[in-house]
Copies of this chain bind each other. A is one copy, B any other.
Amino acid sequence: MVVKLGVIGTGAIGRDHMRRCHRVLAGARVVGVNDVDGAVARSALASLDIDAQVFVSPHELIASRDVDAIVVASWGTTHEEFVLAAIEAAKPVFCEKPLAVTAQGCRRVVDAEVARGRRLVQVGFMRPFDAGYIALKKTLDGNQIGTPLIAHCTHRNVSVPPGFSDAILVTEMLSHEVDVLRWLLNDEFVSAQVVFPRRTANAPAPLRDPQVVLLKTAKGVRVDVELFAHARYGYDIRCEIVGEFGVAELPDPPSVLLRSEARRSNALLVDWKDRFVDAYDAELRAFIDQAATGSASGPSAWDGYAAAMACDAAIGSQATLEITPIPVPLRPALYQTKRSEA
């Protein structure tokens, strides 16, 4: 069966998903697109040589009988509305993060999906589809290091666009760490605290950069996450889990070992888009396979909700410097099943 996709939002990310679903991955076809700017939608189709219908209304696209499943890649502020509409239409929907711009918005999606009684939403957290994180997860699940006690994480960018605020640092960078750690550790975060190291001279005011976020889980695991938006030297994602009898580290992407100019070196990535390029394929692969059965898997609306609550607490702590509790609401039965990404 070929899944017929409708794509809402045909900017850079939407276009990339269109290419991926149409040219790379078997089993799907883009049949409809919508963009707030119709010309952009038409240009996306033309540039990819895709023959599909341009919908003026995103809601008509969602409702169309020709469309089996939805990909939401429009502006973040519109995500909640389109995901709710897809749930209403009982269609699987892949939604780029954030699921909604507030935790309450995420909760509304959760409630709608629970009311529908079946998983329809996959949130675009791609790290659980990265081969390195999957290998790390297997190491933990295979009890190769014992019960996890501590996690040390770093998330460094070369630089970020102007206008990046302390809050955006959390929603853009921390949210991925939160999601992948909840999955790796099979645990929930209960508090967050932000501490501010010496500021780099390379970050434009008023951004405080770097920051260290200290998280605690329900099981007592302590996590420190270094967020460094202007690390200059490369895009570097690291994760080390300390267990009762061993320690495991996320692998770096492979690269040629070069001996030259008195150094033995490996190239590091500088562009974040290169880091998880295979994971983007894999998350869509999972979405298409599951959509063919009329459902969804992978990071859920509940995961989007949990990430939003943790980010809210971290943003709160940026102002107060206090240890800030993260709510841990009762998990609905729909989300009891373990994720099956690996």
Interface residues of A (CB under 8 A from B): 21-28, 131-132, 135-136, 138-139, 144-150, 152, 195-202, 210, 212, 214, 216, 219-222, 224, 226, 228, 231-234, 236, 242, 244-270
Chain B residues, CB < 8 A from A222: 195-198, 212
Contact across chains for A267 and B260 when beta carbons are under 8 A apart: no
- CA of A258 to CA of B136, assembled, Å: 9
Partner of A232, one of B132, B234, B246, B256: B246
Instruction: Give me 17 A-to-B residue pairs in the complex whose CB atoms sit less than 8 angstroms apart, sorted by A's number.
Output: A23-B26, A132-B256, A149-B197, A149-B210, A150-B226, A212-B222, A214-B214, A232-B244, A233-B245, A233-B260, A247-B259, A247-B260, A249-B258, A259-B268, A262-B268, A262-B270, A263-B265
Q: Are B145 and A258 in contact (CB under 8 A)?
A: yes
CB distance from A188 to the nearest CB of B (A): 14
* Cβ contact within 8 Å between A246 and B224: no
Q: B257 contacts A267, CB within 8 Å?
A: no
Determine whether the beta carbon of A139 is less than 8 Å from that of B249. no
Q: Lowest 8 CB-CB distances: which A-B pairs, in order?
A: A246-B260, A265-B265, A198-B220, A251-B254, A197-B222, A247-B259, A232-B245, A249-B257
Give A135's nearest chain B residue, CB to CB: B256
Minimum CB–CB distance from A189 to chain B (whole Å) comes to 13
* Copies of this chain in the oligomer: 4
Known: A149-B197, A197-B221. 17 other contacts (CB 8 A): A24-B25, A24-B26, A132-B254, A135-B256, A144-B258, A147-B200, A147-B201, A148-B198, A150-B197, A150-B226, A201-B244, A212-B224, A228-B242, A236-B247, A262-B268, A264-B268, A265-B266
A233: chain B residues at CB < 8 Å are 245-247, 259-262
Closest-CB distance, A277 to chain B (whole angstroms):
11
Q: A138 contacts which chain B residues (CB < 8 A)?
A: 256
Contact A202 B244, beta carbon cutoff 8 Å: yes
Contact A136 B242 (CB under 8 A): no
In the assembly, what is the distance between CA of A144 and CA of B260, in Å?
Answer: 8
Complex: chain B residue closest to A150, CB-CB: B197
Chain B minimum-CB-distance residue to A138: B256
Residue with the highest number of chain B CB atoms closer than 10 Å, among A224, A236, A263, A266: A263
Q: A139 touches which one: B200, B221, B256 (CB < 8 A)?
A: B256
Q: A195-B214, A233-B262, A261-B233 are in contact. Are A255 and B135 (CB under 8 A)?
A: yes
